[in-house]
Amino acid sequence: MAQVAALELRSVDLQSSRNNQEHHTQEMGLQRLIVRRSQSFTIQLHFSRPFHSGTDHITFIAETGPEPTELLGTRATFLLTSARQGNVWSASDFTIDANSLSVSLFTPASAVIGPYTLKIKISQGQGNSLTHLLGTFILLFNPWSAEDDVYLPSELLLQEYIMMDYGFVYKGHERFITPWPWNYGQFEEGIIDICFEILNKSLSFLENPSKACSQRNDVVYVCRVVSAMINSNDDSGVLQGNWGEDYSRGLSPLEWSGSVAILRQWSAGGGQPVRYGQCWVFAAVMCTVMRCLGVPTRVVSNFRSAHNADANLTIDTYYDQNAVMLPTQKRDKIWNFHVWNECWMIRKDLPPGYNGWQVLDPTPQETSSGLFRCGPASVKAIREGEVHLPYDTPFVYAEVNADEVIWLFGGGQALEILAHNISSIGKEISTKMVGSDQRQNITSSYKYPEGSLEERSVFMKASRKMLGSRRASSPFLDLLGSGGSKDQPAQLQLHLAQTPEWGQDLLLELHARRVADRAHPQGPIRLVVRFCAQTLLHSGGTRGPLWRQKVHLTLDFGEEIQRSLSLPYNNYKNKLTDEKLIRVSGIAKVAETGRSMLVLKDISLEPPHLAIEVSERAEVGKALRVHISLTNTLSVALSHCTMVLEGSGLIDGQISNDLGTLVAGHTVQIQLDLYPLKAGRRQLQVLISSKELKEIKGYKDIFVVAAGAS
């Protein structure tokens, strides 16, 4: 019997284009193989002769990470079989066509994610074998597979939380919420490689590379590593935080429009942290990384967000008798807004019922197991006050539920409680609505309605768990029992008399009404109201006073009076931060009782409006004329104006222009041509910055048709 010639491998076709489309990775390109676990992909092998399944024996070998081993799950060897062998690495369902062999490869839902090498070992008989490199592929989480821990059973949600490469971050103030367009760009060239570079620069990888790689099958582990690596407090993380006002050694956080430039700069710099980020930048970059890795992710903004460092569920704020908000030595604060992420996953490490959205926060606020990171904390656990469940649930619970106690301070001590607010923290929790540019309020997923029996019951349950042995001597719980501030003989409110515009005097009205109280049920009262205006910082703190005023009032029973107040532009110009927020506070001393009352008004000054128009139909590769106009509605010139355009699928990287000075009352018109790179829904983001205003931002949604589409 003639001896059959040895089977020799001649060429390989990884069929990247077809496989990537079937695995929803085509947006990352079609030139290399990028697949998702728990889903088959097909490759074609070309041999020197036809493959004989009875006598030819081939073994596939897939490896990832340094020193891969089967014990760690970073190496898999599997034989060619006629049918798939369950949820394990397998090569099956093969077809033979002349000298070609088409094989379906399957990766289990528990496989480690990362870049793999794929090899084939051909047995030659008498124990001899030859091993060939077939190529490389990248393996990602698979939210389309019911077997994967990140499974999300809705194509509409998957299109939003995996495939959408732009969105909005919500900023500002609970009463002046601003959508901030952001280019996530998770499918841009090289971003997938940078994501694994981030994992490879983590402390856990540097300490034990083989073990760190082996844990990348676990979405909880990967999320915690990324949360730590987006900030640079402990490691060669992506971003350096800066909450001051000196950004001369980098870029102001307000001048970023997307994640791609940040990630590319970090990678090109060999892991040097990019300067600078604040919470919305940290969260937006983490969203890019997690969506790229295959984990459904969204960006969430919490307005009036507590940073409760001592975990006592109360934040103390202090004012003096002149209505000046005082700085505090405590690390506790109430951010105007704080931004974090939610990632969708099954939590096998928790009791049943806590799957779904999990909070992850890459902004460095507190350490978790020794590193600056936060989460994943189950949103359902937060809502139910189950603060004992990992990870960092007490901290996130306090961010949305802490009580605020406002004190009058004088002579080195707290004199009286001006207000005890049980519902002023955790307001308007927001994310982008699915399939829409609108904002969605998701506060109800974090807590029961404020003041409801369920909400107070959950709050007391959480406080018992968090305060523990401190509970018996907790001034906070004493305060809960005392009912906080007592009746007052008047009601005070501050209103804006007209829309506040930066560069104009601000006009306010004080409304005062005499009401009955136990101490003074009737008769007139005399009030001295001292007003103060201060720059309100993103951190919730303030700068020194920029305006003061004193008003004397006499209020008879049932009487309501109004007083006009004017805050001149000259008082606040050059004194505000980039956020352009002012807090006006008033302390009213009641002559008859000697007690004090507080009235507050936060004012947000709107920047000029940016208009973007697109004249023609957008088509891949064809010139698209864009018209951008900005009218300086302020009373002062805007100097050193620069414009940055960004938009995945529309622009490769960024387009920057210097616009010079824009005189007050004048309009600048810009026309330019873009050449769209990809079909589908896209978003053009335009940011104009000046010395006076950092965040004049606009966007335009553009639908791009494929080249040659009729």
Q: 382, 385, 380, 451: which is closest to 421 by C-alpha?
A: 451
| Residue 246 assigned to a binding site | no
Whether 173 sits among the annotated catalytic residues: the reply is no
Q: For residues 649 and 620, what is the distance between their CA atoms, to the nearest angstrom?
A: 9
Q: Is 183 annotated as a binding residue?
A: no
Neighbours of 653 (CB within 10 A): 14
Relative orientation angle of helices 219-230 and 279-293, to the nearest 10 degrees: 150
3-state helix, strand, coil in the chain (%, to 5): 20, 40, 40
Q: Which amino acid is at 674?
A: L
Residue with tokens 């990171």: 373
Sequence-separated (6 or more) residues with CB below 8 Å from residue 686: 610, 612, 628, 643, 644, 645, 697, 698, 699, 700
Annotated binding-site residue? 455: yes
Number of H helices, E strands in the chain: 14, 39
Catalytic residue among 279, 292, 374, 641: 279
Check: CB of residue 180 under 8 Å from CB of residue 168. yes
Among 391, 388, 386, 337, smallest CA distance to 368 is for 391
Query: Residues near 650 by Cβ (< 8 Å), separated by ≥ 6?
Result: 624, 674, 676, 677, 682, 684, 702, 704
Contacts of 610 (CB under 8 A, 6+ apart): 628, 629, 630, 686, 688, 696, 697, 698
Please indicate if the annotation marks 450 as binding a ligand. Answer: yes
**Helix (H) / strand (E) containing 298:** strand 297-307
The catalytically annotated residue of 307, 338, 420, 538 is 338
Task: For residue 701, indicate whether it is catalytic.
Answer: no
Return the structure tokens found at 513: 């009404």
Whether 338 is a known active-site residue: answer yes
Angstrom distance (rounded) from CA 88 to CA 108 = 5
Which is the catalytic residue, given 149, 332, 361, 392?
Answer: 361
What is the distance of C-alpha 20 from the center of its chain?
A: 27
Residue type, position 439, single letter: R
Report which DSSP code applies to 27. Answer: G
**Which residues are known binding-site members for Ca(2+)?**
401, 403, 450, 455
Instruction: Cite the active site residues.
Output: 279, 338, 361
